[in-house]
Structure 1
Amino acid sequence: MLTEAGTRVNFDLILTVAILLNLLLALFLRRHKRRLPYINRYKFPDTIRNKLLEKYPHFNDSDIDMILDGLRSYFHICNVAGNNAVAMPSKVVDEAWHEFILFTAQYRKFCKKGLGQFLDHVPSLPLNNPAQHMGNASLKRAWRLSCEREKIDHVNPPALPLLFAIDELLKVQDGFYYSLVGEALEGVNDAKNFPVTRIGCTSNANCGASCSSAYESEAAPDVDSTQPSPTFSFFTNSLSK
């Protein structure tokens, strides 16, 4: 049976631990918020724009601006996710990310200041069976955080967030196209757009764990998802010290 003194010691210990945890959380959020202006203001190397225009000569300057906005948005959700992996939903934004990585010193500095850690690029992972998406936490996390960033209800989305819409908006060949409605045929990659309902986040189920957010929202693009998609695959990232 605990004595009064023992009970007091246990209470003080619990209180101390709670205070420390709150301080650590406050420190994390403070650092996170400090990174947001840096990511927002960061000027990507002009060579990235030139390389994208070489690869996609039919794009105009506004298209390239949209791609770089998508890359900036991706870095924002990676910042929110911390050490948790986040899938890359867009083929064309991944092209911009890959070009940025080639500027080794600048990319390393950006990761340190904007993300607090180095963001590794992991090769694409094709998912031949749409049913496999249901359990993929990194894609769920990308969906939920992208929707949260643009103030879209991830359970009942009225539109696709930029990272999930951009490939179709720009009509990227072999891009990753998504649809708000419909059911993908299992084992078939080119039947129709990949329905976001199959990601497993358009329900009250856990969408890749919770993360604290502190970013400004953007208007969600309105997408007419009617174009066919040849393949669905995605890129993931990992963070390392």
Structure 2
Amino acid sequence: MFPIFLAILAVGLALLGWRTLRKRRQLRFLQQYRLDAAYRKALWRDYPHLNDASLAQAEEALRQFFIMHWLAPRAQLQMPSRLADMLWHAFILDTRRYQQFCQQAFGHMFHHLPAQAASAGPSQSQAAAMQPSWNAAMHTRRYMVGALLGGIPLLFALDAAAAIDDGWLYPPQLLGQWASAFAAALGAGAAGSSADNSASASSDSGSHRGDSSAGDSADMVSSSTSADSEGGASSCSGSSCGGSSCGGGSSD
């Protein structure tokens, strides 16, 4: 019976190691992949005022969106940038190459969802639907150098920075709303983790030193967690909605 258990454990560990290695290879592939120059030319035909730097930013923004999908493959993420969306369209039209890219980057086809830009600004439901995209974009900071532009996720700042007439722009208050919600989620996660650790520490402390000592320890951990959460939320909110690229307008 014991050898069977060891065999099952070995298979499980091997499978876990294989999945970890595959994810690392996929990330490295996404970080190093370069789009064909023809896709940039398709953008330049529609927006002839764009220079090489703006076109390079558009490619980095699309890379950010791909890494967002790599991080959360089951999430229905909205595309926040018209310019990046048009570049994605140009890539998709090269069907064979796009299929090969998706297979190597994700292990499945990453299908395009129709973008629905609001002409007079995002509705409440559209703004709420975009929150997961903001959160995922913020999490890409670990994996790409140019993830932020003026403190805002590149995908959300790209159209304003490129100054395209039909770009999807976001008012500062909406950017602040997304940034605050993201910071609150991070704070809640940190607080939950600290609370679990506190409960475990309190239980151990109570069993060895008595209930009174355990209660004092829990109070100290709770106070420290609260202070850390407030500081983290403040700094994240401030950095995420600052910068001159916060424009007013519409979203998808």
Q: Deviations over 1:84-105 (max 9, x none)?
A: 2221111110000000000000
% same residue: 24
Q: Which has the higher helix share?
A: 2
Alignment of 1:19-58 (within 5 A): 24-58=15-49
Q: Deviations over 1:212-240 (max 9, x none)?
A: xxxxxxxx9963145331x221xxxxxxx
Q: Deviations over 1:148-201 (max 9, x none)?
A: 2125xxxxxx8211111111111122222234x42xxxxxxxxxxx43515853
Partners of 1:133 and 1:24 lie apart in 2 by: 39
Alignment of 1:206-221 (within 5 A): none
Partner of 2:199: none
TM-score, with length taken from structure 1? 0.66
CA positional deviation for 1:35: 0.9
Number of corresponding residues: 192
Partner of 1:163: 155
Gap runs ≥5 in structure 2: 143-149, 190-239
Q: Which has the higher strand share?
A: 1
Q: Is residue 2:177 matched to residue 1:197?
A: yes
Residues 30 and 131 of structure 1, relative CA distance in 2, 3 Å threshold? same
Partner of 1:132: 125
Gap runs ≥5 in structure 1: 1-8, 152-157, 183-193, 208-219, 234-241
Residues 40 and 92 of structure 1, relative CA distance in 2, 3 Å threshold? same
- SS of residue paired to 2:182: coil
Give, as a single letter, the amino acid of the residue that structure 2 aligns with 1:204.
A
Partners of 1:132 and 1:28 lie apart in 2 by: 36
CA positional deviation for 1:111: 0.3
Whichever of the two has the greater Rg, that structure is 2
Aligned with residue 251 of structure 2, among 227, 232, 239: 232
Partner of 1:106: 97
Residues 198 and 43 of structure 1, relative CA distance in 2, 3 Å threshold? closer
Once the two structures are overlaid, the 10-residue window that deviates more, 61-70 or 28-37, is: 28-37
CA positional deviation for 1:129: 5.7
CA contact under 8 A between 2:44 and 2:50: conserved in structure 1? yes
Partners of 2:154 and 2:64 lie apart in 1 by: 8
Q: Deviations over 1:112-166 (max 9, x none)?
A: 0011110111111346763214653xx3332112112125xxxxxx821111111
Aligned with residue 117 of structure 1, among 108, 123, 136: 108
Partner of 1:175: 167
TM-score, with length taken from structure 2? 0.64
Q: Deviations over 1:2-33 (max 9, x none)?
A: xxxxxxx9xx99x9999877665543332111
